[in-house]
Structure 1
């Protein structure tokens, strides 16, 4: 069987690709961005800004003003860190948690992946929990952990890759600027020149300011000189180097980059002049370039100006502009754009019709931070209030039940709803 990028697939990949194809429209399970991917925000010479909220594939994390970490959503592999694999009240396996639960104190940054989570404490120690089938917890084993376990010290930033249906991997930047990676490596996403998984952290490069990992096995790092380096899977041109050939080692893509975020199969970067550039798989409008169809964009293309940060979900993208406004584009089949059950184009994948947005559209003002999950989005305003929208059927929006259903009959919330129980650290 062939995948999207023409590779011959084995049994594991066929299983993943089949499910991914089903979920990709309208709901590709992440972060992507995401995993899910954590938006990397860095100015030249500094490491990732501490991340106060993080949307994973089907779970979420938030740090409040006191430094307490709260988690909610799906918990089938212990990704909430509450000591079980289900709801804190019932303890039933594979149930989800709608009411946020406190997991850790003294936390400065959080990253939610496919089925695992990572947090950095105020003392620089890195703690991880959840799924560990590929060694993505970095503790030398492949045994899941239902509670946080300490992995390493002197950590400044962390990002988790993989999704609910793809293998997980992890990247951490130490305070000395060195980048360390571990976990699954089937497409060379660890950047160490091999395709062998690693159960322990392996040093990849130095002088790193920011890092972001994708759900579907590609990685990116911004160095302290503002250069962007990428590696891993490249079947849709998501590395931006003009080819569709995977790379087992970092390759330089562009200069003067301040922010980077990876979706499942696409990439977005902000340059020092505030311009936003996107590339990779364009189905569902996730590149924001106005194009229809599935054309791969294999080199960076400019999409808009005035950007300061970006967060890519599985198949959608969120951008914060310098004036604090939030702009959205891409797949809206599960309400993950927050613009209602609408868009500027319709798509049909055989299960029904849904909307996509192929050009950026303004959603909200006064935004401090945004995190895009596989099929949901979390927004923090400058007053610390937290707003959520997108898929809600696995508790990833907390107590928000949703205002509609998608073509797969999953509950979704198509407009922003305030999380009344918590406020995020600004």
Structure 2
């Protein structure tokens, strides 16, 4: 099952002048950063394979991967750093040769000695580009080449095409073959399966045992999947694909094909007969699974699925089948040729994995929608079962696994099993993103993320990242014809505090930089609330702000239109009448504004007379105000005006000393 992350999708914000508070919530922020090796990261995806590993990091905290790190065995160039030297001193960052990824990294998958990652180059949330590297002995890279190894990521497309003609919904690699499912009609669901690479056990599903070195469309023998393609998984030499036949968004049918040497196809066929075309696998008790299929995993000896039988969108039943080598089937049976229910496990089932030595499932025991407990079973030769000792060579039944602290201290977001080791990603601050990586089992080639050393017999913390997010941001007009920026952070790790105020800069639509001055009296660091005055703001001017920089991280947000308050510098008498007088206002206002940008309240003026009386009037389109209902032939002294009415009071005052006299009424 591919790790699904929560996406921070921008929501539309109407352009409102800033005399109202411009406020954004977390979902408005689309963050980006050009620097690498950030101090702040989310762990998006982690994959383990045959003594090498990789992970996708989000270094700009926008919810999408932007950096790929890999480590471990590299004899076939599967690390992708241009060499065949093992990366045994820890993770190293990987790029295409002399290039960048030019998009968000979506899905990392590892085969036995080859690797692949999908990239979203048009930033619409869906992958559209595939890179592959490593061993190509059987054409598993997919570019039609006879070269045995590719030491850097290379872009792969179907033969004679420049792209996949759709979005890449899922990528799976295993053994020496590869596969993707594509959404060609852009409805969010895959409809086309491509496969390529080794085919000695007919695992490509095209009816032959001839290997393919370019992506080739695969369909069942009848030519139709009869639904949307949901979850794709490859075993060592067999394949699995779940289908949504009733088009409700959830898979209900499982196809499998390829090697059946250990009854891993679950089709009650002779274990020595390969399946050359995709064929439906059904449970032992009925002709269909009673519920939706939420996850599938398959390997050389065993296969399994998580089923949601009560249709609450959470798994509650685990089926497994195959041959019980190393205890991977979690029971005492030697062979289970058809899917059968595994011993009941309390809680919602989230993520299931099986390989040629181990199986495991993550469980949501507190029913909050996120896994918090890991059960494993199977081989323990290298400590990969995580039970804390090597006394038991394998575990027959699901056993809860914990780190040294006896608690994961967070939600389990991703679980992966390598050949003789395993890993989980933990979300310690409950924000939906990974911030700690645990690994355990073998480490002969540095596959556990550090220099080669004896086996880890219990989950060991390899990497921890502390990050922050913006939970709220507002730009408000202050009392000085300028703006203040108020920002609230989601700072679980207390990266910032009263002694370490975040360094923040603001940018407008033209990428002009605005420095900020910290307002200590208006801030509350203990509550992660920080206020700043925006410097160098011109009076009566429109601004469009688009991003902030906090330390080294840039946060894009839906553009905020902000208009600084106008300033009245003088009041001049234009004309007097018998019962009225008209005054023109000298106003400081930018060339890109006029009176219509301000509300009627903000155009309200209070004219104060020396006898403690006053009149409230509105500024007209010519920046004139007219005093009415005056007495004829009477002198008046204006001592000041209040203007810019907001929040039930006037913000500004202009002292003046103007005396005028109304005209005599003639009879």
**TM-score bin, normalised by smaller chain:** 0.7 to 0.9
- Confirm or deny: 8 A CA contact 1:232 1:248 kept in the other structure: yes
- Confirm or deny: 8 A CA contact 2:264 2:299 kept in the other structure: no
Name the structure 1 match of 2:91.
Answer: 100
| Counterparts in 2 of 1:339 and 1:320: CA distance versus 1, 3 Å | same
- Asked if residue 171 in structure 1 is aligned to residue 179 in structure 2, the reply is yes
Alpha-carbon distance in structure 1 between the residues aligned to 2:423 and 2:2: 15
- Asked if residue 127 in structure 1 is aligned to residue 118 in structure 2, the reply is no
- Deviation string 1:16-59 (CA, Å, 9 cap, x unpaired) is xxxxxxxxxxxxxxxxxxxxxxx3579xxxxxxx9711101111
Give secondary structure in 2 for the equivalent of 1:308. strand
Please, which of 369, 381, 386 is the counterpart of residue 414 of structure 2?
369
- Asked if residue 65 in structure 1 is aligned to residue 91 in structure 2, the reply is no
- Post-superposition offset of 1:300: 1.1
- Confirm or deny: 8 A CA contact 1:266 1:280 kept in the other structure: yes
Higher mean alpha-carbon deviation, 314-323 vs 230-239, is at 314-323
Alpha-carbon distance in structure 2 between the residues aligned to 1:258 and 1:423: 31
TM-score by length of 1: 0.77
- Post-superposition offset of 1:394: 1.1
- Post-superposition offset of 1:85: 0.7
- Over the aligned positions, Cα root-mean-square deviation in angstroms equals 2.0
Alpha-carbon distance in structure 2 between the residues aligned to 1:415 and 1:400: 17
Which runs of structure 2 are paired with 1:25-424 in the superposition (5 Å)?
Answer: 39-40=1-2, 52-66=45-59, 67=65, 68-86=67-85, 95-104=86-95, 105=101, 106-123=104-121, 124-143=128-147, 144-152=149-157, 153=164, 154-162=167-175, 168-176=176-184, 177=190, 178-205=192-219, 207-215=228-236, 217-225=237-245, 226=251, 227-243=253-269, 244=271, 245-254=273-282, 255=289, 256-273=292-309, 274-289=316-331, 291=332, 295-303=334-342, 304-305=344-345, 306-323=348-365, 324=371, 325-342=373-390, 346=392, 355-364=393-402, 365=408, 366-383=411-428, 384=434, 385-399=436-450, 401-402=452-453, 411-420=454-463
- Deviation string 1:183-204 (CA, Å, 9 cap, x unpaired) is 0001100011111100111111
Higher mean alpha-carbon deviation, 297-306 vs 386-395, is at 297-306
Give secondary structure in 2 for the equivalent of 1:98. strand
- Deviation string 1:62-116 (CA, Å, 9 cap, x unpaired) is 0112321100000011001001111xxxxxxxx3433101114531110011111
- Deviation string 1:397-419 (CA, Å, 9 cap, x unpaired) is 011644xxxxxxxx311111111
Alpha-carbon distance in structure 2 between the residues aligned to 1:197 and 1:141: 13
- Confirm or deny: 8 A CA contact 1:40 1:211 kept in the other structure: no
Give secondary structure in 2 for the equivalent of 1:64. strand
- Confirm or deny: 8 A CA contact 1:111 1:118 kept in the other structure: yes
- Confirm or deny: 8 A CA contact 1:367 1:379 kept in the other structure: yes
Could you list the runs of 5+ residues in structure 2 that have no partner in the other structure? 5-42, 60-64, 96-100, 122-127, 158-163, 185-189, 220-224, 246-250, 283-288, 310-315, 366-370, 403-407, 429-433, 468-667
Give secondary structure in 2 for the equivalent of 1:187. coil
**Higher relative CO (CA 8 A, sep ≥ 6), structure 1 or 2?**
1
TM-score by length of 2: 0.50
Give secondary structure in 1 for the equivalent of 2:353. strand
Bigger CA radius of gyration: 2
Moved over 2 A (4+): 39-42, 95-98, 420-424
- Deviation string 1:346-370 (CA, Å, 9 cap, x unpaired) is 5xxxxxxxx2110001114421110
- Post-superposition offset of 1:286: 0.6
Give secondary structure in 1 for the equivalent of 2:456. strand
Alpha-carbon distance in structure 2 between the residues aligned to 1:269 and 1:308: 11
Give secondary structure in 1 for the equivalent of 2:326. helix
Alpha-carbon distance in structure 2 between the residues aligned to 1:276 and 1:134: 34
Count of matched residue positions in the alignment of Structure 1 and Structure 2: 344
- Confirm or deny: 8 A CA contact 2:88 2:452 kept in the other structure: no
| Counterparts in 2 of 1:41 and 1:83: CA distance versus 1, 3 Å | closer
Give secondary structure in 2 for the equivalent of 1:142. coil
Could you list the runs of 5+ residues in structure 1 that have no partner in the other structure? 1-38, 43-49, 87-94, 163-167, 347-354, 403-410
| Counterparts in 2 of 1:219 and 1:210: CA distance versus 1, 3 Å | same
Alpha-carbon distance in structure 2 between the residues aligned to 1:370 and 1:319: 8
Alpha-carbon distance in structure 1 between the residues aligned to 2:441 and 2:171: 25
- Deviation string 1:271-294 (CA, Å, 9 cap, x unpaired) is 1232111111202111112x17xx
| Counterparts in 2 of 1:63 and 1:309: CA distance versus 1, 3 Å | same
